[in-house]
């Protein structure tokens, strides 16, 4: 009787039911929990007003900016490559348009991609003071690249629920005039020694930093060197960190990145352990 009922259903419905039947619900629940945990890590690691921000009068959903997208890529150990999909260069009319694709990789394997477009007839380039379109060609190319990157990052990190990119350009214009809603970020480099903080612009408290790194994060110096190299985009030795970090604020930012990266590593290790346990459990006794 059940087979007759299923036969009467459209093929698309039967296909959907077949997919659901083959899903490991427990694994799906674990994955959703990890996504939520990663979203929390991202929100605690990124800085409001620099990596993301909220435009007054547009609701509460913040916009992800280029610095934030780049930090998320570093947290996940991802790399990006860009491909120019389409371009229009009309020198007679002064119109330039570019469409760029950003491809995200991990260890050489393609993960996802994003698209971005920009052109010289956008409102930001035509309203107010007239700008020379011939000098904007490179500007709009970079804008298309940035939009593609943010689009890809929102997809790969499942962050569309907490960030948007639709208002990105308007937000950056407001940043320059000081109209972005921001909240001051507390010092995170020394959670147990905030009363001794030298201030965001003061000298960095390296003693408190290393106490938090080794005690709270349980990272070794070798781990810090590897993650700091990702953070700065070049090889960095522990002994040379003080030449790159000059203020407490900069040290706090590095600590937040290390904290986020450690959380991602812990989630990855947990996923590998769970996968091994599920594999052993599925083997015949």
Show me where the domains of the chain are located. 32-177, 194-279
* pLDDT in the model for residue 283: 57
We find that the CATH architecture of domain 32-177 is: 2-Layer Sandwich (3.30)
| 258-278 mean pLDDT | 66
| Cβ-based burial of 83 (10 A; exposed 0-12, middle 13-18, buried ≥19) | exposed
Residue-wise pLDDT tens digits, 56-101:
655 677 888 888 898 888 888 889 999 999 999 999 999 999 999 9
Residues 6+ apart with CB under 8 A from 102: 80, 81, 82, 113, 114, 115, 116, 145, 148, 149, 151, 152
pLDDT in tens, 56-65: 655 677 888 8
Global model pTM greater than 0.85: no
At 46 the pLDDT is 83
Mean pLDDT, residues 44-63 taken together: 75
Q: What is the pLDDT of residues 211-242, one digit of tens each?
A: 998 888 888 888 888 888 877 778 888 888 88
Q: What average pLDDT does range 124-142 have in this prediction?
A: 83
């Amino acid at each position: 009787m059940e087979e007759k009922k299923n036969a009467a259903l459209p093929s698309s419905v039967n296909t959907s039911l077949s997919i659901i039947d083959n899903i490991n619900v427990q694994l799906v629940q674990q994955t959703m929990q990890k996504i939520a945990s990663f979203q929390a890590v991202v929100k605690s690691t990124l800085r409001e007003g620099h990596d993301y921000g909220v435009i007054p009068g547009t609701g509460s959903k913040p916009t992800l900016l280029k610095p934030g997208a780049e930090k998320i890529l570093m947290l996940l150990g991802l790399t990006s490559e860009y491909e120019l999909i389409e371009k229009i260069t009309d020198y007679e009319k002064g119109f330039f348009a570019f469409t760029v694709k950003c491809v995200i990789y991990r260890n050489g394997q393609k993960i996802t991609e994003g698209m971005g477009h920009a052109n010289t007839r956008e409102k930001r380039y035509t309203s107010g003071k007239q700008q020379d379109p011939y000098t904007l060609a490179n500007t709009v190319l970079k804008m298309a690249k940035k939009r593609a990157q943010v689009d890809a990052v929102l997809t790969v990190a499942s962050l569309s629920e907490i960030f948007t990119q639709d208002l990105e350009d308007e937000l950056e214009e407001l940043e320059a005039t000081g109209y972005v809603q921001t909240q001051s970020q507390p010092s995170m480099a020394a959670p147990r020694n905030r009363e001794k903080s030298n201030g965001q612009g003061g000298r960095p408290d390296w003693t408190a930093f290393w106490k938090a790194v080794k005690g709270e994060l349980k990272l070794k110096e070798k781990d810090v060197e590897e993650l700091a190299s990702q953070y700065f985009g070049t090889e960095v030795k522990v002994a040379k960190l003080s030449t790159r970090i000059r203020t407490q604020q900069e040290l706090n930012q590095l600590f937040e990145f290390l904290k986020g990266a450690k959380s991602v590593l812990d989630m990855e290790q947990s996923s590998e352990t769970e996968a091994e346990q599920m594999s052993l459990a599925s083997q015949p006794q």
